[in-house]
Amino acid sequence: MAQVLLDLAKIITDAAQTIDAECKARGTTFPLLDEPFTPQSEAIRDEPAVASLTAVLAAAAEQIMLTAWSPPRSLFDGAFGFHTSSAIRTAGAVNVAEALREAGPKGLHVNDIVKGTVVDPEKLGRLMRLLASRHIFREVAPDVFANNRISSLMDTGKSLEDLRANPEKKYDGTSGLLALMECTLDEYFKASSYLTETMLDPVTAKSDSTTQAAMNVAMRTSDDYWTFIDKPENAYRLRRFGVAMQGARVMMPEIHIVQSGFPWKDFPQDSVIMDVGGGTGHVSMVLHQHFPQLKLVVQDRHQTIEHAKEWWGTENPKAIQTGRVELQGHDFFDPQPPRDPPALIMLRFILHDWADSYAIKILRNLRDAAGPNTRLMIIERLIPYACKADDKTLTVPGAKEEMVAPEPLLPNLGIVSLNGYLADVQMLAAFNGSERTILQFDNIFTKAGWKLVRVYRTPASFATQIIGEPI
């Protein structure tokens, strides 16, 4: 018998049929791999009913493949996965997606793709064939390649002439997604290759120091990542990182902060919201626009706040002039400057950069500045378990995943949750940081004097709002 294959196949068929019905009801088609990516054609995936079905379908498809496939092959395909990463990085560096866009749907021979570069066409062709076999690019004829839906995301939209004339400005004026990808494939990828060494070395095995991460071994530096990219010789990396953070905002739009159901409108007039580590204040801008009754304090490093002043001076100078928004230089490892206790303290994608000992220090400083009615909001990924769990913290309202995975799927839907686990390992390799489960958040909250009381989930986003109150 092969009942498990039949069960998984039924999940796939049922999900596909329901998605087909949803598409027909909306008069649209489900996007195909061979079509170029456009936000408009992706709209069907954002429909809540379709989004949940595609998650179940993808989880079942991967599980049926791995159930049917040879275990040794699966293991070694996983072990060899880093070659795919190298091929993607090379294709990006050679500007393949842009060359293929200029060539059109008939594609381009590798000999023509590499014209004007030092790249060997035969070597590039081998990398391209690997990527095409992973459905990234298409091989339309021997050694002739074209873009598909996935590879078209690698296109900056710029001309080859411009890219080759100004390579240092490759990502300027783009969404930042490609800069984020290149950061991942450069220093983070190299850091991950030394993760095993740092985990087995007695000096670094149990260290949570930002200067004893795998990145330090890979980059041969005793500096933490932030100091490392600030150095003059890393000017390109720093510029790319700045654009990459814009890409992170594309993946996690600021507007999500008002879409989770958190009762922002219930705060009384002139309630103070502290945006700690808030960068230039893009999230606070959204809050100011939607909830003008709030007073907002944006805190970050002094040099970042100088950029924030320029940005607010252009985008909304009135908010600064009227005192509705305050920009304050401050290091969150230091005690908070004296002020009346705020209504809410918010940290958005800050704690994942830091190991527990650092995160607890940050939260303890904020606890010292809190009043009895102050609330804490941590906006981060919430990493699910890969098993069924009966953890007491899952009784916190909103903590338990709403979607129940049908048998025999993994409770976390496997590949659907993969991005979170990959991000977690990336934080570990680069900073000794951590994405966290609900239990891990509960632990650092408690040690810093906070009680975890609620979780708000944003539809179609992996960002969650984890709420604490003073103990």
Cα distance from N-terminal residue to C-terminal residue, the chain? 56
Q: Encoding tokens for residue 122?
A: 């035969």
Q: Encoding tokens for residue 82?
A: 């880093």
AA letter at 74 = S
Q: State the angle between helix axes of 356-368 and 438-447 in degrees (0 to 180), rounded to the nearest 10.
A: 50
Q: How far apart are CA 380 and CA 280, in angstroms?
A: 18
352 is a catalytic site residue: yes
Q: Cβ neighbours of residue 47 under 8 Å, at least 6 residues apart?
A: 22, 26
Among 282, 288, 330, 352, the active-site one is 352
Q: Encoding tokens for residue 267?
A: 């705060």
Q: How far apart are CA 467 and CA 469, in angstroms?
A: 7
Comparing C-alpha atoms, which of 408, 463, 457, 386 is closest to residue 56? 408
Q: How far apart are CA 263 and CA 240, in angstroms?
A: 36
Size of the chain in residues: 471
The b/e string for 375-411 (b: 16+ C-beta within 10 A; e otherwise) is bbbbbbbbbbbeeeeeeebeebebbebeeebbeebbb
Q: What residues are labeled active site?
A: 352
